[in-house]
Structure 1
Amino acid sequence: MALRVGVIGGGQLARMMIAPAVEIGIDLRVLAEEEGMSAQLAATAVGDYRDLDAVRAFVRDVDVVTFDHEHVPQDVLRALVADGVAVHPGPDALQFAQDKLVMRARLAELGIPQPDWAAVRDADELRAFLDAHGGRGVVKTPRGGYDGKGVRVVRAGSEADDWFATLGDGEALLVEELVSFVRELAQQVARRPGGEVVAYPVVETVQRDGVCAEVLAPAPGAPQRLAQMAEGIGRTIAEGLGVTGMLAVELFETDDERILVNELAMRPHNSGHWTQDGAVTSQFEQHLRAVADLPLGDTSPRAPWSVMVNILGGPAEGTLEDRFSAAMSDQPAAKIHTYGKAPRPGRKVGHVNVAGDDLDDAVYIARAAAAHFA
């Protein structure tokens, strides 16, 4: 019988695990939040990932559990572990992706470079931090934020009063210094339970309105020292936090060639979609290998350059599928991936990958293909 890997969450990341699972002989099963989600081809159950009974019923028929997102509550995760279920990444690691304050404290213990930060519980504490950091800062909700949500640049202690009003006893917001950076980078590594770790090249990510719009792989002009530093940070975090599966470390590159950790994701990540067509082993196959404790794959690029452009929003009228023929005819070198989602402003509904010998050409082709879906 094939190894059965259960994915909690039916979004596009689970969808993109389906093809590599078939190719390497893994029986992929998905617990989707509702009918008709992106990963519906592999959805064997529909249920609430916060409902322990629903999750227990799903995992009864799998050998290993992993995730499409990091939102499964700690009490559910720890109940599964107590039941003897193989959970990768486990709750001890996932807590650092679920709570940014917990993450910041642990990264500080590991000596990882990161922005100055503090836990703040009211406007006075926030004002004191701003006064010590040039009058500006970034306030984040410790839990639940993504793609720019739960993030706010502030210049006064009162500008987070609405968030302070929602805090419970013992809760706090995270405030960080507003980093002066020249670009954003991302470092991906994979780690299997036995301890083997592999790393992908560091990439440049281009953000628009808090959402990843493009990825350039490898990061153009990155000196060897910076690339080695990024890989070292990724490996240290994966090992120090006990991550199993894919880990994405989002980074700021400063104007003095330092890199600081911004965010973590313990799953396949938007910054690694280029690997589907640009690396020997895609991040989706690698994640499955890692959580199943199989030998990890080669992370080498297949071409000097790879470019990923997100399809955000989709067409105002019609469907993405209506645009396929024109995009394919216009840019036959582009690899188009869609998520089975209805178009909606700002929504990630697909992406385009292009790999080649010339970066400018790859960028042009990817953008031209993605433009057909606007």
Structure 2
Amino acid sequence: MTFPVVGMVGGGQLARMTHEAGIPLGLKFKLLSDTPQDSAAQVVGDVVIGDCRDLDTLRAFARGCDVITFDHEHVPTEHLRALEADGIPVRPGPDALVHAQDKGVMRAKLTEIGVPCPRHRIVKDPADVAAFAAEGAADGGDGFPVILKTVRGGYDGKGVWFVRSVEDAEDPFRAGVPVLAEEKVDFARELAANVVRSPHGQAVAYPVVESQQVDGVCDTVIAPAPGLSEDLAGQAQELALRIAKELGVVGHLAVELFETRDGRILVNELAMRPHNSGHWTQDGAITSQFANHVRAVLDLPLGDPRPRAKWTVMANVLGGDYPDMYAAYLHCMARDPQLKIHMYGKDVKPGRKVGHVNTYGDDLDEVLDRARHAAGYLRGTITE
């Protein structure tokens, strides 16, 4: 029996962990990576070094692959259409993936299908930003602050501006790309609903999680979201499943959400790949997001998404001023034998995601403390 070959475009940590999940399934994995030093390129046996924005490179890479999937959204849409025209399964396909690539397209489609979103529109210059802000003004105010986003290319707070005045609104337009304006939502917290959908329509939903951000970067994820009502959790899961179906998503879909102070949910962002808010599933769910993504793109039966423990906490490990994490790594393992550490093989640089830790148990305060201590000790902000 010949097992299929999964072609992964992108050599980051998501590809590294997806490859790991495919090993026990007996799958062959082929990687298109920018450099041999990329996170996944260090561990995958079949690596092609090249630029995913070059169509000839993509076509040569795709030969011998049974399916193509991604660890990022940066492949040009027209290149994906060309691969499909060549008869190569691309999952998620270009018609779905464009909604994760282009925030303007995403907002327009979600509005069309009745998904609750922040007030928004494409703006052409700072004066247009001021007009957008004024449209939402109350009590004679100017409507600021607002959020500005480049429609393509932003991630982890990059390409996003918190704008307090029309004078603040100049920077986003300097790159000459379309800019999306959104209202500043008065939210209580950020949530994420992670679902996986296969080509024949089977879908599973993971528990809704709370995602805590620091400086625009995910810091901690708590599964399930503490204190979230059953009704609102069900709404979030149903919404994510509906978006996956309406957009024709194949594979993993992360729907980042705002929980408003008046008890509603609004969609913030979409990602059509394994996602930071789902890293807890590696150790906290019966089937991880990575394993289910692989199953979905190959149209295999999906695995059980239910949690293994009452609480699971994921804390990102960011690089600090101390570049050698190995001694800290040994300390954390000895201090907490139940701790699960996942390192990405990256050079340590301040603020860079270089790994994450997962903890689980029955007492949320204890589980949170263990995760945050380990992440802080690895970074060097905690020394005891």
Q: Spell out, residue by residue over 1:202-224, the C-alpha distance to the aligned partner (whole angstroms, 9 max, x if none).
A: 00000000000000000000001
Q: Mean alpha-carbon deviation: is it higher for 71-80 or for 206-215?
A: 71-80
Q: In the alignment, residue 165 of structure 2 is paired with which amino acid?
A: A
Q: Residue 283 of structure 1: CA displacement?
A: 0.4
Tell whether the 8 Å contact from 2:161 to 2:172 is kept in structure 1 after alignment.
no
Where does the alignment leave 5 or more consecutive residues of structure 1 unmatched? none
Find out whether 1:230 has 2:236 as its counterpart. yes
How many Å separate the matches in 2 of 1:351 and 1:251?
22
Select 1:301's aligned residue among 307, 311, 315. Answer: 307
2:287 and 2:305 in contact (8 A); partners too: yes
Separation in 1, partners of 2:355, 2:314: 10
Contact persistence 1:330–1:369 (CA under 8 A): no
Structure 1 SS opposite 2:110? helix
User: Is structure 2 residue 83 aligned with structure 1 residue 80?
Assistant: yes
Name the residue aligned to 1:45: 48
Superposed displacement of residue 345, structure 1: 1.1
Please give the secondary structure, in 2, of the residue aligned with 1:86: coil
* Count of residue correspondences: 370
The corresponding residue for 1:175 is 181
1:125 alignment partner, SS class: helix
> Is residue 196 from structure 1 mapped to residue 202 from structure 2 by the alignment?
yes
Distance 1:113 1:190 in 2: 21
Aligned to 2:144: 135
Q: Show the counterpart of 1:360.
A: 365
CA deviation string 1:174-223 (max 9, x = no partner): 00000000100000000001111110010000000000000000000000
* Counterpart contact for 2:15–2:40, Cα < 8 Å: yes
Inter-partner Cα distance in structure 2 for 1:162 and 1:319: 36
Cα separation, 1, equivalents of 2:30 and 2:377: 33
Letter in 2 for 1:18: H
> For 2:96, which of 93, 98, 101 is the aligned residue?
93
Aligned to 1:166: 175
Contact 1:319–1:342 (8 Å) recurs in 2 = no
The answer to whether residue 321 in structure 2 is matched with residue 334 in structure 1 is no
- C-alpha separation in 2, matches of 1:154 and 1:289: 42
SS of 2:127 mapped into structure 1: helix
What's the counterpart of residue 124 of structure 1? Answer: 127
SS of 1:276's partner is helix
Distance 1:139 1:369 in 2: 35
Determine helix, strand or coil for the equivalent of 2:256: strand
Describe the SS at the equivalent of 1:364.
helix
Matched residue of 1:184: which SS?
strand
TM-score normalised per structure 2? 0.94
Counterpart of 2:84 in structure 1: which amino acid? V
Q: How does 1:105-120 map to 2 (within 5 A)?
A: 105-120=108-123
SS of residue in 2 equivalent to 1:214: strand
How many Å separate the matches in 1 of 2:253 and 2:180?
22
Is 2:378 the partner of 1:369? Answer: no
Cα deviation per residue 1:325-373 (whole Å; 9 max; x = unaligned)? 1110011111000000011111100000011111111111111222221
Match of 2:34 in 1: 33
Question: Which position in structure 2 is the counterpart of 1:103?
Answer: 106
Deviation at 1:161, TM superposition (A): 1.9
Q: Could you tell me how far 1:121 is from its partner in structure 2? A: 0.4
Question: Which contiguous aligned blocks of 4+ residues in structure 1 show a shift greater than 3 angstroms?
Answer: none
Distance 1:158 1:52 in 2: 41
| 1:323 match | 328
Name whichever of 274-283 and 359-368 sits farther off. 359-368
Residue 266 in structure 1 maps to residue 267 in structure 2:
no
**2:288 aligned partner:** 282
Shift of 1:160: 2.3
CA shift, 1:320, in A, is: 2.6
Using the alignment, how far apart are the partners of 1:147 and 1:104 within structure 2?
19
Task: Tell me whether 297-306 or 118-127 shows the greater mean CA deviation.
Answer: 118-127
Question: C-alpha offsets along residues 88-115 of structure 1, whole Å, 9 cap, x if unaligned?
Answer: 0000001000000000000001100010
Q: Which moved more, 1:70-79 or 1:149-158?
A: 149-158
Q: Which amino acid aligns with 1:143?
A: R
The 2-side partners of 1:29 and 1:285 are apart by 16
Decide whether the 8 Å contact of 2:315 with 2:357 is kept in 1. yes
**Equivalence for 2:11:** 10
2:149–2:180 Cα contact (<8 Å) kept: yes
Q: Deviations over 1:249-289 (max 9, x none)?
A: 00000011100000000000000000000000000001000
Equivalent position amino acid for 1:166 in 2: A
Q: Deviations along 1:98-150, whole A, 9 cap, x unmatched?
A: 00000000000110001000110012211111112232210000000000011
CA contact (8 A) 2:148 2:172 kept: no
The alignment-based identity, stated in percent, is 55
Q: Specify every segment of 5 or more residues in structure 2 that has no aligned partner in the other structure, as ranges.
A: 137-142, 380-384
Partner of 2:382: none
- Alpha-carbon shift at residue 57 of structure 1 (Å): 1.1
Shift of 1:232: 1.1
Name the SS for the 1:190 alignment partner: strand
Q: Which amino acid aligns with 2:179?
A: L
CA positional deviation for 1:158: 3.3
